[in-house]
Structure 1
């Protein structure tokens, strides 16, 4: 493909009615401008301009060529302007992946504040419990809940906060099945747990350093924490849940904290995104907002 700058130079000469005026307008030496237009005519095999000492006019071929070239130049200028707008003000679409329970419990309550602060930004929030591929699926950001995650060569992982998991059950369940007094008592109880292969292993610990690991066969298995909360409140069994997820049901008395001196491993919320080379303001604005707001929801 020919150098598109030559189209721009040609249009500038026509627009400013001469090489001298065009050279001054676009900041290019007159001799260079004349040479580039001459090279363009040579490649086309047609004269585009009639030159004289006092005037310059378009040939028929030049007139046709100018009309098409000006469209190309206008489109290119609009493309640059649209990118400049993105660089200067947050706008456009941001695509975010988030676990289902996180979207329901932590993200939904704070989204309206972001949308109000950045009216030109639109969000596509995909609530999914699987780990997405940033490149193939064209995601900008992802919220992930995991015991630990580290930066990589291509991704940044920012810790936003987290909570330990606690044992909970309904008053009715405990009345029917008894209150566990030590971790070993859980072996005889109905258990609600995340999806795992085969047996479920719960690693419990106390604040003073004692630990106990249990291999359990759950009665109900689901990767939806909201289902676990509701099942525990309905008396299905004992669940090991992130404390903020169970907090509402604990306040209302639907759930009771079981073995309160023991807790499960801490799960941390991370904001993960590709390393910020050429990051758009819309993406940066959402990162800054989530870094500030999600820790507040964890503290509530």
Structure 2
């Protein structure tokens, strides 16, 4: 599981207030959510949540981590969308060959419409 997914799981737990509610929101089992949060805490070597039978609260380290994680995920999501938009934008040069009559009647109107939709081509 990626670090981004671990962060998203932790934030879901924080936002929903429990492993069960976070699991329902994410489509995981509560035990899978608990396991991922535990693995994250083990990797960081610091508790992020204080759990009791009735409630769960963030430790100071957990609060700082969740705050920064939320910012990181927002920035990563924006970057991925930006990169994806760049990749889907058509650009470059297109060369066409046709007879003059066919070009004037059919190709030129299509090329003009295409250029309006894809100005970087």
- TM-score when scaled to structure 1? 0.32
Greater gyration radius: 1
- The alignment's C-alpha RMSD in Å is 3.2
2:90 is equivalent to residue 93 of structure 1: yes
Structure-2 separation of matches of 1:23 and 1:82:
30
Matching residue of 2:50: 50
Report the CA distance between 1:80 and its aligned residue. Answer: 5.5
- Residue 60 (structure 2) pairs with residue 60 (structure 1): yes
Structure 1 segment 160-239 matched on structure 2, within 5 A? none
**Pair 1:20–1:71, CA change in 2 (3 A):** same
- Counterparts of 1:206-285 in structure 2, within 5 Å, are none
Aligned to 1:40: 40
Spell out, residue by residue over 1:181-229, the C-alpha distance to the aligned partner (whole angstroms, 9 max, x if none): xxxxxxxxxxxxxxxxxxxxxxxxxxxxxxxxxxxxxxxxxxxxxxxxx
For 2:120, the equivalent position in structure 1 comes to: 123
Higher relative contact order (Cα pairs below 8 Å, separated by 6+ residues): 1
Give the secondary structure class of the aligned counterpart of 1:96: coil
Which residue number corresponds to residue 16 of structure 2? 16
Shift of 1:66: 0.6
Cα offset for 1:72? 2.5
Unaligned runs of 5+ in 1: 125-300
Q: What is the SS of the residue equivalent to 1:94?
A: coil
Residue correspondences, number: 111
Identify the structure with the greater strand proportion. Answer: 1
Matched, 1:7 2:4: no
Superposition pairs of residues 127-146 of structure 1, within 5 angstroms: none
Cα offset for 1:57? 1.0
- Structure 1 30/74 Cα, relative in aligned 2: closer, same or farther at 3 Å? same
Q: Secondary structure at the match of 2:93?
A: strand
Distance in 1 between residues matched to 2:82 and 2:57, nearest whole Å = 31
Structure ranking higher in helix proportion: 2
TM-score scaled by structure 2? 0.72
